[in-house]
Structure 1
Amino acid sequence: MMDIFKAYLLNNSSVTASDIELVCQRAVARKLRRNEILLEAGNTCRHKVFVLSGLLRTYGLTPDGNEHILQFAPENNWTLDAESYNRGIPSKYNISAVEPSEILMWVKPDFDHLLLTIPGLKKFSDLLISDNMHGARNRLHTLLSAGPEEKYEDFLKNSAHLSNRLSLKMIAAYLGISLKTLNRVRQAQLQRY
């Protein structure tokens, strides 16, 4: 599975093959079962995570038990609770496996050292952070300004590859709408086509 990560870095960054070996040496591989929690709210996020296979979700729970999904991380994506990881504070969020997943993890001191010693990795990391910030801003704008139909259309436009891997309940929790509303929107969409 490490070959997947090596190919990912070779194809998407300027990190050299020898530096990729250093990054891989610091990684810890882990398998997660479906619904297994990687990070539980209240604990500090201590790892940067790369998803080799499977699908993870980052979510919060309201006091009444409703789930609000902030992010999905399918294969070839990174995930963590950045605030908890960077500040060393308890996380407000959970990260768990939507389906059986294989991941690579780096503890913060190790990854920070890699960023200091491998300029190509630092440049790539900065680019990913910037892209993530732009994506989060666009998602927030859609959540605040769009109606349920537009939210669902935006999801299909940007995340269609995930739609058959997620329950409708998870999609509704990601869009910030009720399951009943999502079913109504989907039904109306089917009637149009």
Structure 2
Amino acid sequence: MTKREEQKEKRRQDILRAGLKLFACKGYEATKINDIAEEAGMSLGLLYHYFESIEILHEELINIALAGRTGQYFPQYDNPINYFLKSASHIFDVIKSDHDYAQYFVLIKHAQSNQNLPIHIKEKLKQNDIIVKSIITIEEGQRQGIIRKGNPMALAMTFWLSIEAYVEMIALNPDIPYPETNWFVDILRASNNYEK
């Protein structure tokens, strides 16, 4: 890669990082393209050289976030509890080493609740819905007696939304203490105390 190509890639990454920070903190609807240019430390004209619109930048960030989910939220596992433990551990381990990951997590959360996004983006998000993909694993764990009884969708939502809320707090305040991943898994774990 030539020096010029390196400089172009650095600028592109600066724009992506600025967009990610603002979309995660302010939300897509409240973020303006001028805000991103200012955060990236460049002119609006230069930003447009890299991304033709705020919509294209937003979609690029969603694609990056979704690509990061492959294999990470869906690890190989010995049993259903192990799947949720590995998933939670992975998320918090990655956030500890790369704070941007927390912001990507928040970006996806906001995008999933945004009804104004184009259909093709909504479809991508739907295909990568970790709550829906977890239902089968919860049902498997319930059959094995290692995941508590209850509505599998509600249990999946309780687990993942608890993690999402905590990750969002970390994204907004990196200094808060990290949780033990077992705390999240205990939401799902079958126990004589819970089953009465």
TM-score by length of 1: 0.28
Q: Which has the higher helix share?
A: 2
TM-score by length of 2: 0.27
Q: Which has the higher strand share?
A: 1
User: Bigger radius of gyration, 1 or 2?
Assistant: 2
